[in-house]
Amino acid sequence: MFFFHAVMRKVTGFPAPSGFGINNLFTLRFGNRKTFNDYMSCGGASTTPALNEISASWPHPRAFSQTVLLFLLVMGGLSFAAVFFGDRENCLEVSVGGAMAFPIAYAMFFFDLNVSRNISLFEIIRLIALGGILSHVIALLLYELSHELIPRDAIGWDAAFIEEPAKLIAAVLLAGGIRDFKWTLNGVLIGAAVGAGFAALENIIYLFPQIESAPRLVFPVIFGRGITIALMHVAFTGAVAGALWRAKGAGPFSFALFLKPMFLRVLLLAIGLHLLNNWLAGMKTNTGISLLLVKQIPGILLLLCSVYVVLSVAQMGLDEVREAQAKQSASQNKE
């Protein structure tokens, strides 16, 4: 693990996530219903904490953990119906539920991570719904405009160069003009929500043909894409948008922000990791040791790299909050 941290820090130039542990991935400490409902109420004039009230440490992911448990119950019920009754409608329900479950759960993790608590749950739902549709439309337009410039084949070389910018453009169009969203962690959450919407729609596109041709493959596709592709989409867009929002700060968006070295580094990393993932997915291997060595182990390493990048950007966001609190405290002491 130390070697992995050292290599990633050398490659990315980002700070390693400091103090992040298993308790920051999942928790069962929800409190009572009223306490949890208070926790979920944020983003309003009376529910957004002041700067000195923000905890700039890694939070316990209460919303993410509740969402995971909820979707496990829902998917368990839908899977039971599909297995024991086996008709097409039940497979359709499992497909739609599974396509949405993983991306939404990942987005809720970044809702927990947004320690400034200035983005409401409704805003996240809006970003997931509109961001998913808008990013797909932009991607389709870019595919049409670039089909002669970027080779299109079964490996999906073009997807990495088109989908990552498309999701980022959607995030900027939907939330770039909101001045209250000035923190790096705001950008991470906005990007993650748009990435979740994109991943959910893409999952549906991949799952529906399975219902017609091979219904028994619905479950492997749901979990395979949910654990890998959906997480990568959310992590990539969260990291890229977080880097862009970090460059923006409290100021307005301008073209110069897209030329900032840190933003370009994160964007190129996201495109590169996406490209490698599609290349691995397109490789043909036999079952057994070749499948394990050539596709599965590299795929897991790519997934870890993706998560590392977005958590590193989130670490910069937490450091940003601490720096702002220190400046505020120093200013008050002078007065």
DSSP string, 55-123: --SPPP-HHHHHHHHHHHHHHHHHHHHHHHH--HHHHHHHHHHHHHHHHHHHHHHHHHH-TT--S-HHH
Contacts of 130 (CB under 8 A, 6+ apart): 170, 174, 197
Task: Label residue 289 by pLDDT band (50, 70, 90).
Answer: very low
Dump pLDDT digits (tens) for 291-308: 444 556 677 888 888 888
Residue-level pLDDT at 222: 83
Query: In a 3-state reduction of DSSP, which class is residue 128?
Result: helix
Are 101 and 176 in contact by the 8 Å Cβ rule? The answer is no
Give the chain's mean pLDDT. 85
Q: Name which residue leads in pLDDT, 18 or 91.
A: 18
Query: Has this prediction a pTM greater than 0.85?
Result: yes
Percent of the chain topping pLDDT 70: 86
Task: Label residue 266 by pLDDT band (50, 70, 90).
Answer: very high
Task: Label residue 52 by pLDDT band (50, 70, 90).
Answer: very high
Return the minimum-mean-pLDDT range out of 86-95, 180-189, 204-213: 86-95
Residue-level pLDDT at 204: 87
Task: Label residue 102 by pLDDT band (50, 70, 90).
Answer: very high
> 50, 53, 162, 171: which is closest to 110 by C-alpha?
171
| Average pLDDT of the residues in 106-124 | 96
Predicted confidence (pLDDT) at residue 284 exceeds the cutoff of 60: no
Residue-level pLDDT at 109: 95
Cα–Cα distance for residue pair 131/179, rounded to 1 Å: 19
Task: Label residue 286 by pLDDT band (50, 70, 90).
Answer: very low
Domain ranges of the chain: 61-325
Task: Label residue 227 by pLDDT band (50, 70, 90).
Answer: confident
Handedness of CA 272, 278, 280, 283 (dihedral sign): negative
Instruction: Assign 3-state DSSP to the chain and report helix, strand, coil percentages, each to 5.
Output: 75, 0, 25
